Amino acid sequence: MKKLKKIFVEISGCCNLKCEFCPAAQVKTRPFMSPTLFEKIIKESKDLTERHCLHVLGEPLLHPQLQTILKIADQYKIQLEITSNGLLLQEHLPLLASCESLIQLNISLHSLTSNLGLEKTLEHIRTIIPSLEVLLDRSPKLFINLRFWRQDKEDNTLLEELLKLYEGEQFIQKEKNLRLRPRLLIHFEKTFEWPHLNAPIRSEKGYCHALSSHFGILSNGTVIPCCLDGHGDIALGNAEQESIEEILQTPRAKKMREQFNKGLLVEELCKRCQYIERFEK
């Protein structure tokens, strides 16, 4: 099997924010992933993928044994990406700075504005920017992405403020990102709707990169084909009871891959997924 680009590992099924666009609030609280399960997953999948990303739903920095989790990542020398809402960044700064595996940190700024409002978010940003600078200085291979995945009025004001903080830097603008300074980027993306089984069928045809470039594992061990299946509707197996290799070769997983390659969507969730429109362009 060709090497995957990314495996999403949800270490925390709960979040300290409640974004209106996120299904985390409707999902039954899941336990934090145990370090034992995390190590099993990393051991079995380290050679299958280029990197692991701590996220599906929930806030990874909430994990009470974050230090142990990051130590495991370092022990197996994986390439680690973390997606966080940034609320606990200050608190975990020393831990993150000492994690050698960490190569990318994504901070979802759109989550902050939708929960804290503009003023408090601005205050928070002004506090965390010096911490981000410390992280970048201490970790020479680290990239930080500040995500703006909702471009409404509040986010535009936030963006203007952020640009002011980096006044004098040579910004580099690309299609979907703007480089504020080396290794610190703003990432722009359109909001998307999370697929759910109650939505009307969008199409029975389409292609998705799930299972050929990535898959995900929820904090309870459920293996899912993509990071959008936060409810575990396409449960391919459980990483606690089976090996990752076995799960990726189950008839359900194989069928999904084969049918994607023929341009067909077999799973009910996929037939209702708007996200795959991005792969049609």
- In the complex, what is the shortest distance from the CB of residue 216 to ligand SF4, in angstroms, rounded to a whole number? 9
**Tokens 């994607």 — which residue?**
260
Nearer to ligand SF4, 85 or 219 (CB): 85
- In the complex, what is the shortest distance from the CB of residue 106 to ligand SF4, in angstroms, rounded to a whole number? 10
Nearer to ligand SF4, 18 or 77 (CB): 18
Nearer to ligand SF4, 86 or 221 (CB): 86
- In the complex, what is the shortest distance from the CB of residue 69 to ligand SF4, in angstroms, rounded to a whole number? 17
Nearer to ligand SF4, 45 or 108 (CB): 108
CA distance 259 to 261: 5
Give the 3-state DSSP-derived string for 136-195, with helices as H, strands as E and coil as C: HHHCCCCEEEEEECCCCHHHHHHHHHHHHHCCCCCCEECCCEEEEECCEEEEECCCCCCC
- Residue 44 phi/psi, 5-degree rounding, is -80, -20
According to DSSP, the residues that pair with 181 across neighbouring strands are: 184
- In the complex, what is the shortest distance from the CB of residue 210 to ligand SF4, in angstroms, rounded to a whole number? 3
Nearer to ligand SF4, 139 or 227 (CB): 227
- In the complex, what is the shortest distance from the CB of residue 46 to ligand SF4, in angstroms, rounded to a whole number? 23
- Alpha helix (H) ranges present in the chain? 35-45, 66-75, 93-97, 109-116, 118-138, 153-165, 244-248, 251-261, 268-271, 277-280
- In the complex, what is the shortest distance from the CB of residue 231 to ligand SF4, in angstroms, rounded to a whole number? 11
- Alpha helix (H) ranges present in 28-183? 35-45, 66-75, 93-97, 109-116, 118-138, 153-165
Nearer to ligand SF4, 24 or 89 (CB): 24
First to last CA, the chain: 26
Q: Which residue, among 243, 240, 251, 211, has the nearest Cα to 227 in the 3D structure? A: 211
Give the residues lining the site for ligand SF4 (CB under 6 A).
Answer: 15, 17-19, 22, 24, 57-59, 85, 108, 111, 195, 208, 210, 225-226, 228-229, 267, 269-270, 273, 275-276
Residues whose CB falls within 8 Å of the CB of residue 41, separated by 6 or more in sequence, listed in order: 7, 9, 217, 239, 244
Nearer to ligand SF4, 126 or 205 (CB): 205
Nearer to ligand SF4, 195 or 221 (CB): 195
- In the complex, what is the shortest distance from the CB of residue 229 to ligand SF4, in angstroms, rounded to a whole number? 6
- In the complex, what is the shortest distance from the CB of residue 271 to ligand SF4, in angstroms, rounded to a whole number? 8
CA distance 159 to 187: 11
